[in-house]
Amino acid sequence: MTSLADARVLFVAAAGPRRGFGHLSRCLSFAHALGVRPLLAVVGNRHAAETAVALGADVISDATPLLISRVHPDVVIVDEPVASQARLWVDAARRAGALAVSVHDDLGNRVLIALGGSAHDRSVAAVAEALVGAHPYADVTFEAASAAA
């Protein structure tokens, strides 16, 4: 990945009538901050996917972690509130060699952005800087980048 503008970024957003559209909106904000066209795997119903398209996103149907191996993203940003589901996406991203980013918002008025990699990696640092710029109440943590077995 030579620059963020050249990166293929896949956003995974949980959305729908019961979950709301906050995760989807945040992914669109992150895409804007990164300067990339939003490519979304919407975890939700058809209405959620149609809403994402209406808001300017490209939506991939069959939103399961298996699609990562077909899409070949450089970065996968997962905004899924169910930890066990988010973990499946993060693990699939790591197996595919993509930078895995997970977003957690169960911290009151703070958001935690967890990046798989080192702050010394320029690509990881650039993604972190852009995402924090898009969300003023974000905290960033870096995790080991090793793939799950």
Pick the CATH number of 4-143 from 3.40.50.300, 3.20.20.105, 3.50.40.10, 3.40.50.720: 3.40.50.720
Q: 3-class secondary structure for 64-107?
A: CHHHHHHHCCCEEEEECCCHHHHHHHHHHHHHCCCEEEEEEEEE
**At 5, is the pLDDT very low, low, confident or very high (cuts 50, 70, 90)?**
low
Select the highest-mean-pLDDT range: 86-95, 118-127, 136-145: 86-95
Please tell me what DSSP assigns to residue 111: E
Phi, psi of 61 (to 5 degrees): -75, 170
112: three-class secondary structure by DSSP: strand
Is a pLDDT exceeding 80 seen at residue 20? no
CA-to-CA distance for 132 and 26, rounded, in angstroms? Answer: 12
Q: Find out whether 112 and 48 touch, Cβ atoms under 8 Å.
A: no
Which one has a higher pLDDT value, 87 or 113?
87
**At 109, is the pLDDT very low, low, confident or very high (cuts 50, 70, 90)?**
low
Share of the chain above pLDDT 90, in %: 26
Closest among 29, 66, 58, 18 to 42, alpha carbons compared: 58
Instruction: Please give the C-alpha separations between residue 3 and each of 40, 67, 87, in angstroms, as whole numbers.
Output: 20, 24, 27
pLDDT in tens, 27-44: 898 888 888 889 999 998
Number of helical H runs and strand E runs in the chain: 5, 7
Closest among 23, 21, 17, 4 to 102, alpha carbons compared: 23
User: What are the domain boundaries of the chain?
Assistant: 4-143
> What is the model's pLDDT at position 107?
56
Share of the chain above pLDDT 70, in %: 67
Phi, psi of 76 (to 5 degrees): -125, 120
